[in-house]
A and B are shown apart, each in its own frame.
Chain A
């Protein structure tokens, strides 16, 4: 072994030894830490995830999408963590994400986050999930959902929207949203 290599090895062992004796813990996994994000809390690990999502090359985005979906399934997912992961999915999500997001879309507590992720996802799978959620949501969440459906230009939903607009048992905010959506889809 050359003198330079021997010196490097010694230095490495010394560092390892120092680490074992130190009080530092291991660095948290940012993909796990971001799911425990709280409003006002340290978001530096979420930032690390964000950087990985943004820097992902097109051929690597499916893998990143998978990691985000795994994050959504983690136990202990916080509300802020869910919102963050959905905002990241809005950048990379494809049809593979739709079933997971569709489940979140039907729950009023998570519907906005799911819609944030789904709105830019191209393709009929996302359209179908959005249409399907119309039967599960009510009030403001349903109004927001109608807006997203219309913005995506899904004309197959016109008859359903006409029914909502005419239904007196729907909340005014929902009926108004349906009326505007029909106007938008007519244009």
Chain B
């Protein structure tokens, strides 16, 4: 190597390479742009939801007199009013409120894990990652229950014009309203649930690496940050799903 005596002075401009013009590492940038593209995907779902909903009649009568019919789009709080263990009680949006709380809490424990990573506090990172995995798994369990209840239906069902009664929901017919309502429920919450599931898998992988001291040896916990970005995005999507599917 002693022969290479004529080294040129390196270019040190912003875009000459070897530096970070956006003050963020390659991995973090790519996570941001992946999340941006994922936002496009969920945006398209919301467009489909809005158009499908708009192409059906809204319910125009009094809220107290509401009943399920394929004639109109159902009122969400009349559909999602069940709670595990409290059979037959009308608790509008109670369970989904619990799920929202769990997901926001999991977001908080995720930030705490990232914060602990900045301080190179391995024990704290492990602790908060475990909490996040726990809350994420609980959320998935809640969603499994929600789906099971949605598919099974309530005791009343919906009387069809031909005299038969429909209970619960599948992709072609459901007791809550037009077929598209159940289809979009499965599609949108299912896609979000898949994201949560992938997130939990990623968190478990990062947790194992943390326990093994991989990031400590590397000198930084950036991988926790990157998975954290993904996890917050999942929370963010839920905020929108919650508003557009359950509230409006």
Chain A complexes with chain B: no
Q: Interface on B for A, CB 8 Å cutoff?
A: none
Q: Interface on A for B, CB 8 Å cutoff?
A: none
